[in-house]
Amino acid sequence: MPAVRHSAPVGNGGSCHWIERGLLSLALALMVLVPTVEILLRGTRFGGLYPASLVEQHLGLVVAMLGAMVASKENRLLSMSVLPDLLSGWPKHLSDSFTALMGSAVSLVLALSSARFVLAERESGATLAFTLPTWWIQAMMPIGFTVIAWRLTDKLRSSAPLRFVTFAVAGLLAATMSANATGFDGVTHLALLALGMALVCGTPLFAVIGGVALVLFWAEGIPLAAMSIDQYRMVVNPTLPAIPLFTLAGFFLSESRAPERLIRFFVACFGRSRSSASAVAVLTGTLMTSFTGASGVTILALGGLLLPMLLRWNYPRRSAIGVTTGAGLPGILLAPSLPLILYAVIAEVGVEEMFRGALPAACLMAALVFLWSRTQGKGGSGVGQPFSWREVWSAFLAAKWELALPVVAIGTLFSGLATPVEAAAITALYAFIVEVIVHRDIRIGDDLVSLLAKCGALVGGILLILGVALGLTNYLVDAQVPDMLLEWVRVSVDSRWEFLLWLNLFLVLAGCLMDAYAAIIILTPIIVPLARMYGIDPLHLGVIFLANLELGYLTPPVGINLFYAASRFDQPLLDVSRSVVSLIPVLAVGVLIITYFPALSRLLL
State the number of CA atoms in the 13 A half-sphere of 147 facing the CB: 19
Show the domain range for 443.
242-456
What's the confidence (pLDDT) of residue 83? Answer: 64
pLDDT at 364 over 70: yes
Do 445 and 498 share a domain, yes or no? no
Stretch 289-303: mean pLDDT: 76
| 394-444 pLDDT, tens digit each | 989 999 998 888 888 888 877 777 788 888 899 899 999 999 999 999 998
Residue 547 domain-assigned (yes or no): yes
| 486-527 pLDDT, tens digit each | 778 777 877 888 888 888 888 888 777 676 777 787 788 888
What are the φ and ψ backbone dihedral angles of 199, each rounded to 5 degrees? -60, -45
Do 192 and 278 share a domain, yes or no? no
Do 391 and 471 share a domain, yes or no? no
Instruction: Give the end of a domain, one of 235, 263, 292.
Output: 235
Q: Beta-carbon neighbour count of residue 403 at 10 Å?
A: 17
For the four alpha carbons of 247, 425, 522 and 453, in that order, the dihedral sign comes to negative
**What is the rounded CA–CA span in Å between residue 437 and residue 442?**
8
Q: Are 441 and 447 in contact (CB under 8 A)?
A: no
Q: Beta-carbon neighbour count of residue 582 at 10 Å?
A: 14
Residue 10 domain-assigned (yes or no): no
DSSP per position, 192-252: HHHHHHHHHHT--HHHHHHHHHHHHHHHHT--THHHHHHHHHHHT-TTTTHHHHHHHHHHH
The DSSP code for 385 is: P
Query: Is 79 in a helix, a strand, or coil?
Result: strand
Q: Are 441 and 257 in contact (CB under 8 A)?
A: yes
Do 281 and 383 share a domain, yes or no? yes
Query: Is 272 in a helix, a strand, or coil?
Result: coil
pLDDT band, residue 4 (cuts 50/70/90) = very low
Which whole-number Å values give the CA distances from 41 to 50, 132, 222, in the listed order? 10, 22, 45
**What is the rounded CA–CA span in Å between residue 313 and residue 374?**
12
What's the confidence (pLDDT) of residue 48? Answer: 59
What predicted TM-score, i.e. pTM, was given to this entire model? Answer: 0.79
**What is the rounded CA–CA span in Å between residue 14 and residue 180?**
37
Q: Are 133 and 119 in contact (CB under 8 A)?
A: no
Provide CB contacts within 8 A for 170, sequence distance 6+.
100, 101, 104, 105, 107, 108, 149, 153
**What is the rounded CA–CA span in Å between residue 139 and residue 121?**
10
**What is the rounded CA–CA span in Å between residue 542 and residue 482?**
19
Do 327 and 370 share a domain, yes or no? yes
Closest CA to 108 of 149, 48, 53: 149
What are the φ and ψ backbone dihedral angles of 79, each rounded to 5 degrees? -135, 175
What's the confidence (pLDDT) of residue 378? Answer: 61
DSSP H or E run through 310? helix 295-312
**Dihedral of the alpha carbons of 243, 477, 519, 207, in degrees to the nearest 10:** -80
Beta bridge partners of 127: 133
What's the confidence (pLDDT) of residue 374? Answer: 81
Q: Beta-carbon neighbour count of residue 257 at 10 Å?
A: 15
Q: Beta-carbon neighbour count of residue 367 at 10 Å?
A: 13
Domain count of the chain? Answer: 3
Residue 1 domain-assigned (yes or no): no
Instruction: Give me the chain's average pLDDT, please.
Output: 82
**What is the rounded CA–CA span in Å between residue 69 and residue 460?**
8
Do 52 and 139 share a domain, yes or no? yes
Do 49 and 188 share a domain, yes or no? yes
Do 231 and 250 share a domain, yes or no? no
Instruction: Give the end of a domain, one of 235, 258, 283.
Output: 235
What's the confidence (pLDDT) of residue 179? Answer: 74
**What is the rounded CA–CA span in Å between residue 353 and residue 355?**
5
Q: Beta-carbon neighbour count of residue 8 at 10 Å?
A: 9
Q: Are 245 and 425 in contact (CB under 8 A)?
A: yes
Q: Beta-carbon neighbour count of residue 449 at 10 Å?
A: 16
pLDDT band, residue 3 (cuts 50/70/90) = very low
Do 231 and 249 share a domain, yes or no? no
Residue 66 domain-assigned (yes or no): yes
Tell me the percentage of the chain whose pLDDT exceeds 90.
Answer: 14
Q: Which of 77-81, 352-356, 539-543 has the lowest mean pLDDT?
A: 77-81
- What HEC string does 491-502 produce? HHCCCHHHHHHH
Do 451 and 353 share a domain, yes or no? yes
Q: Nearest 5°: CA angle at 410, between 407 and 412? A: 90
Rg (CA), the chain: 24
| 243-293 pLDDT, tens digit each | 888 888 888 887 888 888 888 888 888 766 556 778 888 888 888 888 877
Instruction: Give the end of a domain, one of 235, 265, 283.
Output: 235
Provide CB contacts within 8 A for 456, sequence distance 6+.
24, 25, 27, 28, 63, 66, 67, 70, 244
| 66-89 pLDDT, tens digit each | 999 998 888 888 776 656 666 677
Residue 8 domain-assigned (yes or no): no
Residue 128 domain-assigned (yes or no): yes
Residue 191 domain-assigned (yes or no): yes
Do 263 and 230 share a domain, yes or no? no
What's the confidence (pLDDT) of residue 1? Answer: 36
Residue 7 domain-assigned (yes or no): no
**What is the rounded CA–CA span in Å between residue 142 and residue 65?**
9
What are the φ and ψ backbone dihedral angles of 543, each rounded to 5 degrees? -65, -45
Q: Which of 28-37, 100-109, 447-456, 480-489 has the lowest mean pLDDT?
A: 480-489
Closest CA to 264 of 431, 439, 406, 394: 394
**What is the rounded CA–CA span in Å between residue 463 and residue 77?**
11
**What is the rounded CA–CA span in Å between residue 160 and residue 154?**
10
Instruction: Say whether the peptide bond before residue 557 is cis (omega within 30 degrees of 0).
Output: yes
Do 449 and 322 share a domain, yes or no? yes
